[in-house]
Amino acid sequence: MSLQEFDALIDRMKLAFEYAENLGQYVDAAKILFQMNEQLPDDLQISLEELENPDLAKSFVMRYNSDIKSAIVDYRQRLMNF
């Protein structure tokens, strides 16, 4: 995947994530975080726990949001240096 393709994909996912989070739809936001994580190479993927209880979705989003954003930055750096 090229840097431009990755950026376009992640930008769309970030917008969807922010929209869901702003509306308080944390289950949807958590699903988007899973999808974002799956776009990263295996060595950068965050080991996410399955979200079994929708009541825990907000804490799940708060816990993993910054980790995934950090991994995205790392992968962008790799793509830029490739």
Residue 82, pLDDT > 90, answer no
Structural domain count of the chain:
1
pLDDT tens-digit profile of 45-75? 988 877 777 788 889 899 899 999 999 999 9
Encode burial over 18-40: b for 16+ CB neighbours within 10 A, e otherwise.
eebbeeeebbbbbbbbeebbebb
- What the block records as the tokens of 50 is 């399955």
Half-sphere exposure of 5 (CA within 13 A, CB side): 5
- Given this model, what pLDDT does residue 52 score? 73
Average pLDDT over the chain reads 90
CB-CB neighbours of 81 under 10 Å: 7
- Given this model, what pLDDT does residue 55 score? 83
Question: In the chain, pLDDT over 70 holds for what percent of residues?
Answer: 100
- Given this model, what pLDDT does residue 76 score? 94
- Given this model, what pLDDT does residue 24 score? 92
Q: What residues make up the domain containing 27?
A: 3-81
